[in-house]
């Protein structure tokens, strides 16, 4: 199971990287072709879709690398038992928020598909297609948070994806 979950988090991170490259390519294409009088319809819209995909698909991957911003001012000043309780509470609250985000993201995709919503741009893309990345990223983040919450509840350290330098583990 651990290998499957780690692969899922890595897949999500790889898809986020593809979204980042796609954003770069689409924006650069627009920048370089417009002065030449060439207009490629939809590049702005697709760059926005790719940017949103990048943000949502990277959530679980960065979480499992310990790269999300944490405010540890309080955690550094409390004892180990209170710290463990606060860590568990933070994971439980994060899981609840991620569950709501995932639920409504999936619901939005289903409704957009059902109502056949299309974008307002010249591309007229069915909106459920770019919304899939938001839903997928939200669901994978929820899985990552549940993973850490279960591990913490069982008294084990949450599994982190291996980093090349181990710097993320030292930073916490």
pLDDT in tens, the chain (172 residues): 889 999 999 999 999 999 999 999 999 999 999 999 998 888 999 999 999 999 999 999 999 998 887 777 888 889 989 989 999 999 999 999 999 999 999 999 999 999 999 999 888 899 999 999 999 999 999 999 999 999 999 988 888 876 544 444 444 4
Alpha-carbon span 144 to 61, nearest angstrom = 9
Q: 2-33 and 128-153 are packed helices; what angle lies between their axes, rounded to 10 degrees?
A: 150
Number of domains the chain contains? 1
d(C-alpha 59, C-alpha 16), whole Å = 9
Query: pTM of the predicted model, to two decimals?
Result: 0.88
Size of the chain in residues: 172
Nearest to 14 by CA among 65, 69, 68, 54: 54
Q: Which domain holds residue 6?
A: 2-171
């Amino acid at each position: 199971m651990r290998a499957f979950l780690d692969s899922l988090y890595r897949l999500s991170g790889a898809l986020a990287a593809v979204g980042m490259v796609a954003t770069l390519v689409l924006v650069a294409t627009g920048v370089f072709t417009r002065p030449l009088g060439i207009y490629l319809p939809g590049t702005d819209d697709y760059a926005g879709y790719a940017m949103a995909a990048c943000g949502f698909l990277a959530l679980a991957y960065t979480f499992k690398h310990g790269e999300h911003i944490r405010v540890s001012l309080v955690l550094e000043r409390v004892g180990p038992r209170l710290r463990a309780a606060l860590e568990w509470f933070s994971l439980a609250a994060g899981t609840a928020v991620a569950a709501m985000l995932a639920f409504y993201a999936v619901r939005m995709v289903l409704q957009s598909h059902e109502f056949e919503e299309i974008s307002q741009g010249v591309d007229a893309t069915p909106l459920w297609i770019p919304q899939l990345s938001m839903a997928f990223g939200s669901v994978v983040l929820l899985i990552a948070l549940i993973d850490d919450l279960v591990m913490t509840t069982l008294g084990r350290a949450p599994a982190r994806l291996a980093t090349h330098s181990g710097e993320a583990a030292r930073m916490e």
